[in-house]
Amino acid sequence: MTDRHETGIVWFRRDLRLTDQPALRGALEHCDQLVLLYVDDSETETTWAAGAASRWWLHQSLEALGSDIASRGATLTLRRGPALDTLRAVIAETGASAVFWNRLYEPAAIDRDKAIKSALKDDDIAVYSHNGALLQEPWAVMTKTDTPYRVFTPYWRTARAKLHRQDPLAAPATIAGVEMDSLALAALGLEPTIDWDDGLEAAWTPGEAGAMSRARAFVADPVRDYDTTRDLPGTAGTSRLSPHLHFGEISPRQVWRLVEEAQDPESDGCRVFLTEIGWREFSHYVMFHFPHTTDAPMNERFAAFPWRDDDEAARDIRAWERGRTGIPIVDAGMRELWRTGWMHNRVRMIVASLLVKNIRAHWLHGARWFWDTLVDADLPANTMGWQWSAGTGADAAPYFRIFNSVTQGEKFDGDGAYVRHWVPELAALPKKYLHKPWEAPETVLREAGVTLGRDYPRPVVDLKTSRKSALDAFQTLKEAS
Ligand code: FAD
């Protein structure tokens, strides 16, 4: 097999950018002309096919990528169907002899890509896979006994020590592309058929340029206070880069470099922010080494946990999804999610704790709702977030540590700006009762124009008794094991 190819295919997946794009760079180095291909093979996906918010984002991101490619003199070709069949069809149409892609780390993608690699090699097609998504490959960071880490802090210590400075790859000025029949973007049917995406449109600019401008704005200043503002949902203290990173519109290497160029990377704000990029790495790492965790608890003892699973639980889960639990900080978060496709990390932890501990619903209920509604829905990060919250995962909060939504709300949304914004029916309540309206005297409620059970729900669970039930359930598990 030769290293030089007349025609090569760059198979875009979740690397929808032209800068720091190793597969594209590899293809440009090895080939005279390129097919730039996106394949919608979602019909072959089973349990974790992209949800509605992700599909909305993907539509916008492909549109942006298509126009970035067009400005380099080439065309993005869109096809639909099983990935191997589609690649083979494109190879037959163009005579391409090589395929380039950036690796993914979810178990289903790994299985698919392995099968494709081996089938294409049998067809005498060269396959080049690259790392375009992570700072380090998951197999490059292991304990002294060559086992994978399960705890973040020692993982990150080792991973950080191994990081060396790598310059992000420049985007090509021009691309010699092959013109092919392509589906129209609309034919992929990614956009919602009902009109619910106004909030997404107002909140985000998907695509490489949107990602870069968000990253630049964040490193210019907010990152300096990240260590103190990152936990305050009422403040724009975090980067909101998660969907851009998920779709590969910007690479973690670019983000790292932007921080280094703009600020002192050892300052508190930057160090804490870069550690969050480390958490992203760790979530991919855990999924790579423990692939069963997408659907099963990492801590196997929780397989027998008595989650609530009856009509009443279903009603509580529905109230949670709709932001109608009667617990203001939780409802604020769930409404932010529904409206913008994103939720602040602190609030993700609070709403998850209420669902898995106070409501005692299986964490997969929450993971699936997030999967459908988050624009940054990411199997490694979402699985880790839910397993962490449920106490079932790697480096998890112990099950018996149960967040109190009221205390969390008072601590992290002290002035109530976040709740007042997302739960406007409570906006006139004084601070003292904003996070626990059920404790407000009738006169206070009346003055604020709130009748509980009419304008705003009473809480679906009592925080104290549900906490006790959760601890009892945990105790039965402990006794059984
Ligand atoms: P910043 O605070 O600016 O952090 C920078 C980047 O670091 C993020 O964009 C993200 O890529 C990464 N990051 C930060 N925290 C984490 C973390 N705990 N785990 C993994 N990566 C992290 N994140 C997702 O990207 N997709 C998900 O589907 C997802 N689901 C979650 C579910 C639950 C229950 C919880 C508790 C957390 C989840 N997270 C998820 C992690 C985190 O909440 C988001 O990454 C973060 O809120 C994104 O906002 P940001 O870009 O402003 O983050």
Better-predicted residue by pLDDT, 398 or 61: 61
Tokens representing 14 are: 């979740």
61 lines ligand 1 (CB under 6 A): no
Q: Taking 70 as the threshold, does the pLDDT of residue 1 lie above it?
A: no
For the question of residue 299 being annotated catalytic, the response is no
User: 413-416 long-range contacts, Cβ below 8 Å, gap at least 24?
Assistant: 413/232, 413/233, 413/234, 413/329, 413/332, 415/234, 416/234
Task: Render pLDDT for 311-359 as a digit per residue (tens, 0 to 9).
Answer: 999 999 999 999 999 999 999 999 999 999 999 999 999 999 999 999 9
Mutate which of 155, 271, 276 to test ligand 1's pocket (most atoms within 8 Å of Cβ)? 276
Question: What contacts 79, CB < 8 A, 6 or more positions away?
Answer: 37, 38, 39, 40, 86, 89, 90, 182, 183
348/453 Cα distance (integer angstroms): 25
Q: If you take atom 33 of ligand 1, which residue's CA is the nearest one?
A: 385
Q: If you take atom 23 of ligand 1, which residue's CA is the nearest one?
A: 381
242 lines ligand 1 (CB under 6 A): yes
User: What average pLDDT does range 126-145 have in this prediction?
Assistant: 97
Tell me the CA–centroid distance for residue 345 and ligand 1, in Å: 6
Mean pLDDT of the chain: 95
Counting from 1 in the atom list of ligand 1, the atom nearest the Cα of 218 is 3
For the question of residue 256 being annotated catalytic, the response is no
Tell me the CA–centroid distance for residue 171 and ligand 1, in Å: 27
250 lines ligand 1 (CB under 6 A): no
420 lines ligand 1 (CB under 6 A): no
Task: Render pLDDT for 419-476 as a digit per residue (tens, 0 to 9).
Answer: 999 999 999 999 999 999 999 999 999 999 999 999 999 999 999 999 999 999 988 8
User: What average pLDDT does range 20-32 have in this prediction?
Assistant: 98
For the question of residue 139 being annotated catalytic, the response is no
Tell me the CA–centroid distance for residue 331 and ligand 1, in Å: 19
pLDDT interval class at 479 (50, 70, 90): confident
- Which pLDDT value is given to residue 28? 98
Tell me the CA–centroid distance for residue 277 and ligand 1, in Å: 9
What number of other Cβ atoms are within 10 A of residue 109's Cβ?
17
- Which pLDDT value is given to residue 196? 79
182 lines ligand 1 (CB under 6 A): no
What are residue 265's phi and psi, to 5 degrees?
Answer: -65, -15
Contact 69, 98 (CB under 8 A): no
Counting from 1 in the atom list of ligand 1, the atom nearest the Cα of 280 is 21
pLDDT interval class at 194 (50, 70, 90): confident
User: What average pLDDT does range 28-48 have in this prediction?
Assistant: 90
Q: Taking 70 as the threshold, does the pLDDT of residue 396 lie above it?
A: no
In order, the DSSP letters of 239-257 are ---HHHHHTTSS-HHHHHH
Active-site hit among 137, 191, 307, 404? 307
Q: If you take atom 14 of ligand 1, which residue's CA is the nearest one?
A: 276
223 lines ligand 1 (CB under 6 A): no
For the question of residue 345 being annotated catalytic, the response is yes
363/385 Cα distance (integer angstroms): 10
Question: What contacts 174, CB < 8 A, 6 or more positions away?
Answer: 72, 73
224 lines ligand 1 (CB under 6 A): no
Active-site hit among 48, 256, 342, 363? 363
Tokens representing 447 are: 């003055």
Tokens representing 123 are: 């067809």
- Which pLDDT value is given to residue 2? 60
Task: Render pLDDT for 240-279 as a digit per residue (tens, 0 to 9).
Answer: 999 999 999 999 999 999 999 999 999 999 999 999 999 9
- Which pLDDT value is given to residue 165? 85
For the question of residue 307 being annotated catalytic, the response is yes
Counting from 1 in the atom list of ligand 1, the atom nearest the Cα of 388 is 36
276 lines ligand 1 (CB under 6 A): yes
Q: If you take atom 37 of ligand 1, which residue's CA is the nearest one?
A: 385
- Which pLDDT value is given to residue 98? 98
For the question of residue 56 being annotated catalytic, the response is no
pLDDT interval class at 139 (50, 70, 90): very high
Counting from 1 in the atom list of ligand 1, the atom nearest the Cα of 366 is 34
